[in-house]
Amino acid sequence: MGRRDDVALPELVERARGADPRAVARLITMVESGSPGLPELAALLVPDSGYAHVVGLTGAPGVGKSTATSALVGALRRQERRVGVLAVDPTSPFSGGALLGDRIRMQTHATDAGVLIRSMATRGHLGGLAAAVPLALRVLDAARCDVTLLETVGVGQSEVDVAGSADTTLVLLAPGLGDGVQAAKAGVLEIADVFVVNKADRDGAGRVAADLRQMLGLGGPHSAAGSWRPMIVMTSAEQGTGIDDVLAAIAKHRAWLDGADRLHQRRVRRAAREIEGLTLAQLRARLGGVRHGGALAELAAAVVERRTDAHAAARLLADGAIPPGSGPSR
């Protein structure tokens, strides 16, 4: 690590702005590992924030996210757009930025200077995804990625959280695998701006699209006036068909966002969530766990020993009445 630390953070950020892939890699690894330099990094990245259009890709494992990401990278490069890819696995421990799983297809882009690809695992990170993903995205903003593809590798609620960091969210579905419309996890269908029915070369893809159309016709959160009606696009990511239609749908969604200040509003909501997540993480770190002693442990003991009640204790903590450093630093 010694030599790595020789470069001062401002210089590293400057290099990232020149799209130096090694500088980008180091900064994202810093973010992933929860380095103590993150507050400084966050401050340095303020002017870069929000440059890229962030496109989230989510869906069950095996649906074709990684294949679709690679195909989208190729199509965006043909439009001469600089592309960032951030693959997030919320269920794995620190990855050190190594490419996760089967990312071999991405190697076709590995030598392209217009493509920056990083993976990030965030389990155990202070503040979790809520803190790590937005900051990593800002590193790619600094590198002037026009579009950043944010791919979730893991599954579960975290898919929805990661999608919350995107300007446009693609939800991938595919026939077979039990990951059709019926089987899709609660909350996942609601976040889609564009449904991508992948593996259109397989039997059953038309059925998935028809089910979706029927579901979307039933009203729900998208049916209010002026709201975005999710689009449905059929692709065969493996064969590269339908990928231009996905780009067209993304562009259409972007045009909608650009109207009526919607992009700004969306990003304000996102920043609010980010601040909230960081505040809670800092508070949690200050409280300390019950097992580690600290303010929380002391107050918990006081509740059990009938010296105070839990409501009063919570008020005390929320009002900032706990001295800094009374919890163990993590």
| Binding-site ranges for ligand GDP (CB under 6 A) | 59, 61-67, 102, 198-199, 201-202, 236-238
Least separation in angstroms between residue 304's CB and ligand GDP is: 47
- Nearer of residues 45 and 181 to ligand GDP, judged by Cβ: 181
Mapped onto helix, strand or coil, the DSSP state of residue 124 is coil
CA 180 to chain centre: 23
Instruction: Count other C-beta atoms under 10 Å from residue 126's C-beta.
Output: 16
Least separation in angstroms between residue 209's CB and ligand GDP is: 14
Residue 316 burial by Cβ neighbours in a 10 Å radius (0-12, 13-18, 19+): middle
Least separation in angstroms between residue 52's CB and ligand GDP is: 21
Least separation in angstroms between residue 113's CB and ligand GDP is: 24
- Nearer of residues 40 and 238 to ligand GDP, judged by Cβ: 238
Closest CA to 138 of 58, 43, 57: 43
Residue 37 to residue 31: CA distance in whole angstroms: 9
Q: Name the CA radius of gyration of the chain, rounded.
A: 22
Residue 144 to residue 76: CA distance in whole angstroms: 14
Instruction: Count other C-beta atoms under 10 Å from residue 193's C-beta.
Output: 25
Least separation in angstroms between residue 111's CB and ligand GDP is: 21
β partners of residue 150: 56, 86
Q: Which residue has the tokens 């030598």?
A: 111
Least separation in angstroms between residue 196's CB and ligand GDP is: 10
Q: What are phi and psi of 207, to 5 degrees?
A: -65, -45
**Any long-range contacts for 226-231 (C-beta under 8 Å, 24+ apart)?**
226/260, 228/193, 228/253, 228/256, 230/192, 230/193, 230/194, 230/195, 231/193, 231/194, 231/195
Mapped onto helix, strand or coil, the DSSP state of residue 169 is strand
- Nearer of residues 59 and 327 to ligand GDP, judged by Cβ: 59
- Provide the token pair at 322: 């706990």
Residue 60 to residue 198: CA distance in whole angstroms: 12
Least separation in angstroms between residue 237's CB and ligand GDP is: 4
Least separation in angstroms between residue 222's CB and ligand GDP is: 24
